[in-house]
Amino acid sequence: MILNLNKPIGWTSFDVCKKIRGIIKEKKVGHGGTLDPFAQGVLIVGTGKDTKELNAISKQNKTYEASILLGSLTDTLDIDGKITQKKNIPKLSESLITNVLNSFIGEYLQTPPMYSAKKIKGKKLYEYARKNITIERSPIMVKIHSMSLKNFNNKNISFSVECSKGTYIRVLGKEIAEKLGTLGHLDGLVRTKVGKFSIRDSQSIETFMMSWKSFLQQKN
């Protein structure tokens, strides 16, 4: 079974898999691409023999809607982290922001953040980060297919982006702020698409649980 779930804010991707495992009583449950705890939106979950499809799903393009809070940087590059630096915000204009967003379109080398699940020397990077250890990370080639400005004010920028597998939107948010002459971290992130799977067709965990109970009742 392949499920298109709408991950709620505050849950890890592992939390979702664990919950589904408990609902359907199936040991083999996995997901097709991690979504950060502070983020919400499309999380593809596979169960049983269908978990073998998750590798192909994880390689597909992803679309996000993100919000950058300007003027400060956190250690995790998102709203869950501790503020490490602050900087004044210059005067912004729609044309300036649009030009900066467009400058990222195409392939570019992006360095994975320390707070990430990427493994180096057998450990996830966030395990080092939690001990205040910084590990040298090799940049990886990612591709930004499209970006568009949704809204902005003197503190926030909202944008949508379609990108390749392995793109860290938290890093992208930080880099956008830097190109605008300030600092920034994400204060909102919604994954709206993974390949053909759209948030329009996503179901909440609660809805799935109810439909599964109904399915079992009909079966019996």
The answer on pLDDT for 188 being more than 80 is yes
Chain position carrying tokens 């999380």: 43
Residue 152: inside a domain, yes or no?
no
For position 15, which CATH number holds? Answer: 3.30.2350.10
How many distinct structural domains can be found in the chain? 2
List, in order, residues 6 or more apart from 190 with CB less than 8 Å away.
39, 40, 41, 64, 65, 66, 199
Residue 157: inside a domain, yes or no?
no
Residue 28: inside a domain, yes or no?
yes
Range of the domain at 78: 69-146+163-188
Residue 219: φ, ψ to 5°: -65, -35
| pLDDT grade for 163, boundaries at 50, 70 and 90 | very high
Determine whether 201 is an active site residue.
no
List, in order, residues 6 or more apart from 11 with CB less than 8 Å away.
37
Residue 86: inside a domain, yes or no?
yes
- 110 and 206 part of one domain: no
- 172 and 210 part of one domain: no
User: Of the residues 15, 36, 50, 187, which is catalytic?
Assistant: 36
Query: How does pLDDT run across 28-80, given as a tens digit for each residue?
Result: 999 998 899 999 999 999 999 999 999 999 999 999 999 999 999 999 999 99
Cα separations (Å) of 121 from 74, 124, 128, 137?
A: 25, 8, 11, 11
Strand partners, 110: 140
